[in-house]
Amino acid sequence: MTPEEQLYDLYYNKKNFDGAPQLYKKAKISGYDVTLQFVREWLANQQTSQLVNERKPGAKNVYLPEQPYSFQIDLTFILP
């Protein structure tokens, strides 16, 4: 069996839905010859991992005034 098939068997068929370090330990106990880096890459490419770990949009920059009760106003919409 290839390392991909071994991890597939361990992860899906034996239902070891753990993170990469735990899956790596269980693979080593089972006698599979894989590295932690390989397990991380394999796990990142799995659909279940991609659905759970969706990328979230970046945080928005927020202006916080230095003094309390000081406000910033956009003067674009003030009519003369």
Copy the structure tokens of residue 37.
Answer: 């880096």
3 state SS of 18: coil
- Please give the share of the chain, as a percent, with pLDDT higher than 70: 64
User: In the predicted model, what is the mean pLDDT of the chain?
Assistant: 79
CB 23 within 8 A of CB 37: no
DSSP state for residue 61 in the 8-state scheme: P
Tokens of 31: 């006698």
Q: Do 27 and 39 contact (CB within 8 A), yes or no?
A: yes
Instruction: Note if the pTM is more than 0.75.
Output: no
Q: Parse the chain into domains and list their residue ranges.
A: 3-52
37 pLDDT band, cuts 50/70/90, is very high
Instruction: Answer yes or no: are the C-beta atoms of 21 and 43 closer than 8 Å.
Output: no
